[in-house]
């Protein structure tokens, strides 16, 4: 309990919680950190006279505790890891997801422009009008390179994961990028890029005709959220 309260406190205070949870559930970490800390101190205080605390812990109980510490060990070991192209291709190939349809549904009512909105507006004229997105509109996108359905030579997909509660429910949304005359490739999967350029309408919806492509480090918060 002590280890978990310290771990949750660290997640909360360091801001690392955004690597695991979405905006809907961030509160559980602060709640857990405070509640577990209080419970740990209170439990230690009330059981200070018990024989158990002086003698030790039985082997089965110690094994159970070790299992509870495993996620902490994994999280510390992989503190810089995040979902990438492999997870995106798993999710896309597996679910029969029509990203454009999904984006169309979830982008309604949006005011900002991002992967979700560009993808949705590409196949929805009303959404396109609402967001003022059309041929030639200049956009700036930050994401990582992932596999996409595009077959055009040299084109690649740039995307981000959208999460609601936790990384397990992450949904990848991507936009095709045409590096055009800039070239500068190859752009390997999982490479983080900032791409700026105008939108071009294609059969897939909108493609970004890249005017600037910058290789960048992964941002502190690698995920986006639907709302």
Partner 1 sequence: MSIDLAPQTLTAPAPRRLPIWVIAVICWALYVVTRVIGQVDLAGFDRVATFGVIFASIVIEALPFILIGSLVSAAMAVYVPDRFFSRVARLPRALQVPGATLAGFTFPVCECGSVPIGRRLITNGINPAAALGFMFAAPILNPVVLGSTWVAYGGGVVGLEMVGGRAALGFVIAMAAGLMIAKGGQKVLRDRHGLNDDGGLTEDHGHDHDHTDGVCNHEPGSARSGTRGERVGDYLGHMTSDLLFMGRFLVLGAAVSALMQTVVPQEFIGGIADTFILGTITLMLMAFMLSLCSEADAFVAVSFTAFPRSSQLAFLLFGPVLDTKLAALYGATFRGNFIHRLLIVVVPLILVGTLIFGALFN
Task: Give, as ranges, the residues between 57 and 96 that touch partner 1 (CB under 8 A).
Answer: 57-62, 64-71, 73-87, 90, 93-96
Contact with partner 1 (CB under 8 A) among 9, 165, 200, 211: 165
Q: Which of residues 175-214 bind partner 1 (CB under 8 A)?
A: 190
- Least Å distance, CB 147 to partner 1, is 13
d(CA 133, CA 71): 43
Nearer to partner 1, 13 or 53 (CB): 53
32 binds partner 1 (CB under 8 A): yes
Q: Which residues contact 45 (CB under 8 A, 6 or more apart)?
A: none
Tell me whether strands 192-202 and 205-209 are parallel, antiparallel or unpaired.
Answer: antiparallel
Nearer to partner 1, 126 or 212 (CB): 126
Is the alpha carbon torsion for 22, 37, 77, 14 positive or negative? positive
Q: Which of residues 117-156 bind partner 1 (CB under 8 A)?
A: none
- Tell me if residue 119 falls in helix, strand or coil: helix
- Least Å distance, CB 22 to partner 1, is 7
24 binds partner 1 (CB under 8 A): yes
Binding piece for partner 1, criterion CB under 8 A, among 17-25, 120-128, 142-150, 209-217: 17-25
Total residues binding partner 1 (CB under 8 A) = 78
Contact between 192 and 215 under an 8 Å Cβ cutoff? The reply is yes
Residue 193 φ/ψ, nearest 5 degrees? -135, 155
Exposure on the CB side of residue 207, measured as CA atoms within 13 A: 21
Nearer to partner 1, 8 or 208 (CB): 8
Binding piece for partner 1, criterion CB under 8 A, among 29-37, 111-119, 193-201, 213-221: 29-37
- Least Å distance, CB 50 to partner 1, is 9
Binding piece for partner 1, criterion CB under 8 A, among 12-20, 178-186, 193-201, 212-220: 12-20
- Least Å distance, CB 145 to partner 1, is 13
Contact between 216 and 193 under an 8 Å Cβ cutoff? The reply is yes
What's the start-to-end Cα distance of the chain, in Å?
A: 33
CA angle 196, 176, 114 (to 5 degrees): 55
């Amino acid at each position: 309990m002590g280890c978990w309260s310290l771990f949750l406190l660290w997640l909360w205070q360091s801001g690392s919680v955004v690597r695991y949870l979405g905006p809907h559930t961030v509160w559980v970490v602060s709640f857990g950190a405070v509640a577990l800390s209080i419970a740990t101190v209170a439990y230690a205080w009330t059981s200070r006279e018990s024989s158990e605390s002086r003698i030790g812990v039985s082997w089965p109980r110690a094994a159970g505790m070790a299992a509870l510490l495993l996620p902490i060990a994994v999280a510390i070991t992989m503190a810089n890891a995040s979902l990438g192209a492999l997870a995106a291709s798993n999710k896309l190939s597996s679910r029969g997801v029509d990203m454009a349809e999904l984006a169309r549904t979830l982008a309604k009512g949006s005011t900002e422009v991002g992967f979700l909105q560009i993808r949705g507006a590409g196949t929805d004229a009303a959404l396109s009008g609402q967001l003022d997105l059309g041929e030639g509109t200049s956009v700036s996108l930050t994401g990582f390179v992932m596999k996409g359905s595009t077959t055009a030579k040299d084109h690649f997909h740039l995307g981000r994961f959208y999460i609601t509660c936790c990384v397990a429910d992450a949904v990848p949304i991507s936009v095709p990028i045409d590096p055009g005359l800039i070239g500068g490739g190859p752009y390997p999967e999982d490479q983080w890029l900032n791409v700026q350029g105008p939108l071009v309408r294609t059969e897939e919806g909108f493609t970004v005709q890249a005017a600037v492509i910058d290789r960048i480090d992964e941002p502190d918060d690698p995920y986006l959220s639907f709302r």
